[in-house]
Chains A and B, each alone.
Chain A
Amino acid sequence: MKNVPFNRRAFLKSAVASSAAAVSVGLPQSAQAQQKAAAPPTPSAGYAFLNPDEAAFIEAVVDHMVPADELSPKGSDMGINTFIDRALAGGWGKGDRLYMQGPWKQGVPSQGYQLPLTPAELYRAGIASANAYCVKTYSKPFDKMPETQRQEFLVAWSTGKVNFENGPPARVFFTMLYQNVIEGMFSDPLYGGNQNKAGWKMIGFPGVIAVNQQNIEKYRDKKFPANPLGIADMS
Chain B
Amino acid sequence: MAQKLKGVDVVLVGLGWTGGILAKELSEAGMKVVALERGAMRSTEKDFAVPMIRDELRYSARNDLMQNPAKDTLTIRNNPSQEALPMRRLGSFLPGEGVGGAGVHWNGHTWRWTDMEFKVRSLYEERYGKAYIPADMTIQDWGITYAELEPYYDRFEYTAGISGKAGNIRGKIQPGGSPFEAPRAREYPLPPLRSSLAGEMFAVAASANGYHPFPRPTANASRAYTNPDGARLGACQYCGFCERFGCEANAKGSPHITVIPIAMRNPNFELRTHAWVTKVLKDSGGKRVTGVTYTSVLNGEEYEQPAQLVILCAYAINNVHLMLLSGLGVPYDAVTQKGVIGKNYCYQTGAGATLFFEGRHFNPFMSTGGLSMVADDYNTNLDFDRGPHGFIGGYSLSGGMTGGRPISFRPLPSGTPQWGKAWKAATAQWYGSAMTISSSGSVMANRYNYYDLDPTYRNAFGQPLMRMTFDYKENEHRMSRHTAQAINEIAKSMNPTSLNPATARTDPWTVVPYQSTHNTGGTIMGVNPRTSAVNKYLQSWDYHNLFVMGASVFPHNSAYNPTGPVGALTYWTAEAIKKRYAKNPGPLVSA
Contact = CB atoms under 8 A, between A and B. Distances in A.
B495 interface: no
A191 B406 contact: no
Interface residues of A, number: 78
Residue with the greatest number of chain B CB neighbours at <10 A, chosen from A154, A212, A215, A230: A212
Interface string A90-108: 0010011111110101011
A111 B50 contact: no
Interface stretch (A13-21, A39-47, A136-144): A13-21
B304 interface: no
Given A203-B427, A210-B238, A210-B366, 8 more contacts: A11-B235, A96-B68, A108-B78, A186-B407, A203-B432, A204-B428, A208-B51, A224-B363
Interface stretch (A50-58, A64-72, A125-133): A64-72
Contacts of B196: 216
Residue with the greatest number of chain A CB neighbours at <10 A, chosen from B49, B51, B508: B51
Contact of B63 (A95, A97, A213): A97
B235 A219 contact: no
A188 interface: yes
B238 A205 contact: no
A216 B363 CA distance: 8
Nearest to A72: B424
A15 B235 contact: yes
B234 A219 contact: no
A213 B235 contact: yes
A169 interface: no
B88 A15 contact: no
A67 B250 contact: no
Residue with the greatest number of chain A CB neighbours at <10 A, chosen from B45, B49, B86, B251: B86
A99 B250 contact: no
A44 B250 CA distance: 36
A69 B420 CA distance: 10
B463 interface: no
19 contacts: A14-B223, A16-B234, A21-B234, A24-B248, A98-B70, A98-B88, A108-B78, A110-B511, A111-B510, A112-B511, A154-B419, A186-B407, A203-B427, A205-B431, A211-B239, A220-B197, A223-B432, A224-B365, A231-B52
A121 interface: no
Interface residues of B, number: 80
Nearest to A75: B419
A65 B50 contact: no
Nearest to B78: A110
A148 to B, nearest CB: 12
Contacts of A162: none
A14 B366 CA distance: 18
B48 to A, nearest CB: 7
Residue with the greatest number of chain B CB neighbours at <10 A, chosen from A199, A213, A231: A213
A48 interface: no
A111 B404 CA distance: 29
B49 A213 contact: no
Interface string A190-218: 11000000011011111110111101110
Given A97-B63, A99-B70, A107-B83, A203 B407 contact: no
B589 interface: no
Interface residues of chain B: helix, strand, loop or mixed (majority):
loop
Contacts of B382: none
B62 A97 contact: yes
A114 interface: yes
Contacts of A67: 420-421, 424
B486 interface: no
Nearest to B364: A205
B233 A17 contact: yes
A163 to B, nearest CB: 20
B54 A18 contact: no
Contacts of A202: 424, 427-428
B329 interface: no
Nearest to B221: A17
A145 interface: no
Contacts of B208: none
B54 A158 contact: no
B327 to A, nearest CB: 24
B568 to A, nearest CB: 24
B530 interface: no
B575 to A, nearest CB: 28
Contacts of B405: 205
Given A19-B45, A188-B57, A211 B87 contact: no
B347 to A, nearest CB: 13
B45 A18 contact: yes
Interface in A147-194: 151, 154, 158, 178, 181-183, 186-188, 190-191
A204 B404 CA distance: 10
Residue with the greatest number of chain A CB neighbours at <10 A, chosen from B88, B509, B511: B88
B360 interface: yes
B56 interface: yes
Contacts of B360: 221
Given A19-B45, A97-B68, A187 B57 contact: yes
A7 B271 CA distance: 40
B418 A178 contact: yes
B146 to A, nearest CB: 32
Interface string A112-123: 111000000000
The 4 A-B pairs with the shortest beta carbon distances in the complex, nearest first, are: A210-B239, A65-B419, A24-B50, A187-B57
A38 interface: no
A215 B249 CA distance: 17
A183 B431 contact: no
B90 interface: yes
A71 B425 contact: yes
